[in-house]
Amino acid sequence: MTRLLLLLLALAAPAGANPSRVAPGVATSPCIGEASSARCAAETLIACLARAERALCQRVGATVEAGLQPRLVEYVIERESVIRPDEISEDLRDVAWFKPGYVLVEVQLRACAPRLAACEEEEWEELQIYLRQRDARWEVVAWRASAEPDRPGELPEAFRER
């Protein structure tokens, strides 16, 4: 029975998952608060959402809803890719957040109450973060749950009140 449970837990987590964690007073990434790379800017956005800290959001050019509550967030960055001109289809040509040279960071995350030690009871959710470079800094253009293709800036379900 224990072996079956361990197998099911392994299948539920992203491949190779050793998730990073962020919450008020907690951070496993050393680059939260930085915008010197697309990855650090993406992790800063995740921290801004997890901690509900407006100042963190502003460092990467993002804004969040008032009333956002702090959460413990576990996340795995699955992929970071530069958008190429040949990837822009007719239906994406006029979309402000999908431009050549922008970086797409794809993340699996789950969130729970910040008092918990881990979010094992929560399901993993996909998050896509679109970023562009401005001088030596990266800024968030948009973010969205991958199931919401035409709605950038929507908070993932993991951050919404239950």
Q: How confident is the model at residue 7, as a pLDDT?
A: 34
Question: Across the 162 residues of the chain, what is the mean pLDDT of every consecutive 10-residue run?
Answer: 35 64 94 96 96 93 86 96 93 89 96 94 95 95 74 51 48
Q: How confident is the model at residue 148, as a pLDDT?
A: 57
Question: Measured between alpha carbons, how far is 120 from 154 in angstroms, rounded to an integer?
Answer: 24
Please state the domain count of the chain. 1
Nearest to 102 by CA among 118, 84, 76, 79: 84
Buried residues in 106-122 as b, exposed as e (16+ CB within 10 A): bbbbbbbebeeeebeeb
Q: How confident is the model at residue 3, as a pLDDT?
A: 38
Residue 8 three-state SS: helix
Q: How confident is the model at residue 154, as a pLDDT?
A: 52
Question: Measured between alpha carbons, how far is 93 from 158 in angstroms, rounded to an integer?
Answer: 30
Structural domain boundaries enclosing 105: 2-159
Neighbouring-strand partners of residue 81: 104
Q: How confident is the model at residue 63, as a pLDDT?
A: 84
Q: How confident is the model at residue 93, as a pLDDT?
A: 86
CATH classification at residue 60:
3.10.450
- DSSP assignment of 111-149 equals EE-TTSS--TTSPPEEEEEEEEEETTEEEEEEEEETT-T
Residue 82 — φ and ψ, nearest 5°?
Answer: -90, 130
Q: Residue 7 CB: number of other CB atoms within 10 A?
A: 10
Q: Using CB atoms within 10 Å of the CB of residue 61, give its burial: 0 to 12 exposed, 13 to 18 middle, 19+ buried.
A: middle
Q: How confident is the model at residue 140, as a pLDDT?
A: 96
Tokens of 52: 């509900």
